[in-house]
Structure 1
Amino acid sequence: MPPSEPVFATRKKIQLIAGNAHRALAEAISTEMNVPLCDAHVGRFPDGEIDIKIDDDVRGTDCFVLQPTCPPVNENWIELLLLIDCLRRASAGRITAVMPYYGYARKDRKDEGRVPISAKVVANTLTRSGADRVLTVDMHAAQIQGFYDVPVDHLYAKPVMIEEIIKLGIENPVVVTPDVGGIKMARSYAKVLDADLAIVDKRRISGAEVAVEHVIGDVKGRNVIIVDDMISTGGSISGAADILKKHGAKQVVICVTHAVFCGPAVERLTACAADHVLVTDTIPQRVEGQPAKLRVVSVAPLIGRALLNIHESKSVSELFGD
């Protein structure tokens, strides 16, 4: 009797399944890959419970669920879990959770008594629901990959951001991290841009408030690029932009992957000393009320290429931008 056929050999095609978290990005990824979105109903029952029905045949196919866990985080998270469970019960060949923005990443360790490790709960629920693989972009804490016993593809938005920075024609740049924890990301940008590196020293007062105190490095008379993985309330990064201007920086460009923009973030960015704010479209942005200095860069080409490489068993690390 001949040996059984490998599981991957039964995957006849790609299926892209989009939740409701960010339809525009899902459609952009679909266009980049020249693969249509799967015909699926992702709605709500009258009481608000999530109602899902996949209308296409997914048996044996390579399924990618496109769903960032952005606000409303819990709605989008549960929707992602139910989509994965639906595909598993429909005999999908392989299921990849594509989370351009990975929520609940701040709590990656027990740093005080009687707190959860939320990022581990997310990892457990994803894999136990049936995810065979996870893809995300600029995870807030990269060590979360270690919570998984399935492959995790951690992409960086740096390649698409660098292209946008080059378009601005910034001369004599200094790459700045708004906190010590972002040194690795800042150094990666500085290497590509052949730029110097500086650090803004901050002291966190609470989850929503920080005090920006010192600048480590020379920024006087230089054009500054502040890089970070996310803007939440905007306190840290707007404060960093202001203090850099006070220390003699000329042009200040904020370059951040995930524009969470909660609370007073938009107002703070509008009022701060930054000349440009570059963000990606990992999280949907409302058109009205955004700062005039805001520019949105799409990660659809990056994610689309990564998904094709995964499907074709090609290298994904070439897209990491190391």
Structure 2
Amino acid sequence: MLAATRSVLSRAARAPVRAASTVARAAAAASGSESFGSSAWARGLMFGAVAAAAAGSVAACEAEEESPELASMAIFSGNANPDLAALIAEHVGKPLGSATVGRFPDGEVSVSVHENVRGKDIYIIQPTCPPHVNEYLVELLLMVTTMRRASAEKITVVVPYYGYARQDRKMTSRVPISAADIARLLESVGVDRVVALDLHCGQIQGFFGPRVPVDNLAAARVGVNYFARKVDLENPVIVSPDAGGVYRAKVFREGLNLQTGSDAGLAMIVKQRPRAGVVGQMDLVGEVTGCDCIIVDDMIDTAGTLCKAADLLRAKGARRVYCFASHGLFSGPAVQRISKSCLEKVVVVNTIPLASNAKTCDKIEQLSVAPILGDAIKRIHMRKSVSAMFSGKKVVAAASPAAERA
């Protein structure tokens, strides 16, 4: 089966990208897999064929010459978010590497790299996100070990959404600290560096040893640019939905003030959560009467907390309520809740692909963080400071999105 796949992909690498779909269908049929589109293996093969075709097409194009600084690096992607990976690669100026990340007939993950990576700096873009968190994690681990056994010089994993991050401590007896266990897994397979975006808890960086530095970037500036340019805010107030997010809201407020010249206020919601996924009483600290409020959070899961927070703000006299969050999981009834809520707009970034119902929701808008991650990758590869991207007022107010800090 793998021999047949390799042969098909070899031909695909010499064909235009538009032929990749046909090639992947033929390979899936030859392997005896399920019908194309319903098989996870076929979907992985499809992405590998497209990557191989794109790589061959770019290599055959003499009009574009690769930058000498980028010759020693390669960027690869799993199946979690290939659209984001393609945008990042485009921003960096490097085509995605040729690889197949698919499934064997029994459901096991299959990884095959179709180009030489010996001595190169490898960047693997793979959020461990829904709808297949565990499969995407295994894909990432096997891609790392494949690169390590192929003699890659350095391996950086770009994990825009770090799964299991909310299990960062023991809340009750006899439960795992999963965020730390995932860090150990990544270390054990040979990861040299981790790039993440808005970790649920910044202390997760400490779960990795000193030999594996972690760059925890932030998407705040993407949201600041959006609200500064597209929303006519009146008496803006930035609201943290809990005590742990006050610093994040403070950074967002400072960026908005610098970019718009306004004097946005800051408020916080104090909530009691009797158990996971259930929000009890909420209280507001701060004044929002007659103000446009922006709730700033790191993620939206079922949207229960978000919608209750919006109701509380309106009850306290808020004029309009918006939300900016880095990761839009939109699990379970989230989209339905947002549609029926008093929220004007919910803005997220593309660390996680939007579900179909979220794409059709008028209140949900997704922005790209590819420039943030792409700039970070280029600076890491060229041995430049990542933190220099974010220092000073000029950077906070810059038109081009960048990350908050290294």
Q: TM-score, normalised by structure 1?
A: 0.94
Contact 1:212 1:240 in 2 (8 A): no
Contact 2:99 2:114 in 1 (8 A): yes
C-alpha distance in structure 1 between counterparts of 2:88 and 2:126, whole Å:
12
Q: Letter of the aligned partner of 2:302 in structure 1?
A: T
User: Is 1:297 aligned with 2:360?
Assistant: no
Task: Report what 1:13 is aligned to.
Answer: 72
Task: Report what 1:7 is aligned to.
Answer: none
User: Is 1:95 aligned with 2:155?
Assistant: yes
C-alpha distance in structure 2 between counterparts of 1:287 and 1:30, whole Å:
25
Contact 2:335 2:357 in 1 (8 A): no
Q: CA deviation at 1:172?
A: 1.6
User: Is 1:283 aligned with 2:352?
Assistant: yes
Aligned residue-pair number: 313
Task: Report what 1:24 is aligned to.
Answer: 83
DSSP 3-state at the match of 1:85 = helix
Q: Letter of the aligned partner of 1:314 in structure 2?
A: K
User: Is 1:316 aligned with 2:379?
Assistant: no
Q: CA deviation at 1:165?
A: 1.2
> In the superposition, relative to structure 1, how do residues 98 and 24 fare at CA in structure 2: closer, same or farther (>3 Å)?
same
Contact 1:212 1:239 in 2 (8 A): no
Task: Report what 2:325 is aligned to.
Answer: 256
Task: Report what 1:188 is aligned to.
Answer: 251
Equivalence map 1:193-232=2 (5 Å): 193-194=256-257, 195-232=264-301
Task: Report what 1:145 is aligned to.
Answer: 205
DSSP 3-state at the match of 1:211 = coil
Q: 283-292 vs 88-97, which deviates more?
A: 283-292
- Deviations along 1:116-170, one digit per CA (max 9) or x if unpaired, are 1101110011011111000000000110100112110110001111111112132
**Runs of 5+ unmatched residues, structure 1:** 1-10
Structure of greater relative contact order (alpha carbons < 8 Å, 6+ residues apart): 1
Contact 1:12 1:62 in 2 (8 A): no
C-alpha distance in structure 2 between counterparts of 1:309 and 1:212, whole Å:
45
Task: Report what 2:221 is aligned to.
Answer: 159
Greater Rg, structure 1 or structure 2?
2
Instruction: State the identity as a percent.
Output: 44
User: Is 1:269 aligned with 2:324?
Assistant: no
Q: CA deviation at 1:212?
A: 4.3
DSSP 3-state at the match of 2:277 = coil
Task: Report what 2:105 is aligned to.
Answer: 46
Contact 1:212 1:236 in 2 (8 A): no
DSSP 3-state at the match of 2:76 = strand
Q: CA deviation at 1:63?
A: 0.4
Q: CA deviation at 1:288?
A: 4.0
Q: TM-score, normalised by structure 2?
A: 0.75
C-alpha distance in structure 1 between counterparts of 2:274 and 2:314, whole Å:
23
Equivalence map 1:225-244=2 (5 Å): 225-244=294-313
C-alpha distance in structure 2 between counterparts of 1:33 and 1:212, whole Å:
46
More strand by share: 1
Equivalence map 1:60-79=2 (5 Å): 60-71=119-130, 72-79=132-139
Moved over 4 A (4+): none
Q: CA deviation at 1:16?
A: 0.5
Q: Letter of the aligned partner of 1:37 in structure 2?
A: L
Aligned CA-pair RMSD: 1.4
Q: CA deviation at 1:193?
A: 2.0
Contact 1:212 1:243 in 2 (8 A): no
Contact 1:12 1:60 in 2 (8 A): no
C-alpha distance in structure 2 between counterparts of 1:287 and 1:105, whole Å:
25
C-alpha distance in structure 2 between counterparts of 1:189 and 1:212, whole Å:
26
Q: Letter of the aligned partner of 1:62 in structure 2?
A: D
**Runs of 5+ unmatched residues, structure 2:** 1-69, 258-263, 391-402
C-alpha distance in structure 1 between counterparts of 2:190 and 2:90, whole Å:
27
User: Is 1:173 aligned with 2:236?
Assistant: yes
C-alpha distance in structure 2 between counterparts of 1:77 and 1:231, whole Å:
21
DSSP 3-state at the match of 2:272 = strand
Task: Report what 1:112 is aligned to.
Answer: 172
Q: Letter of the aligned partner of 2:279 in structure 1?
A: V
More helix by share: 2
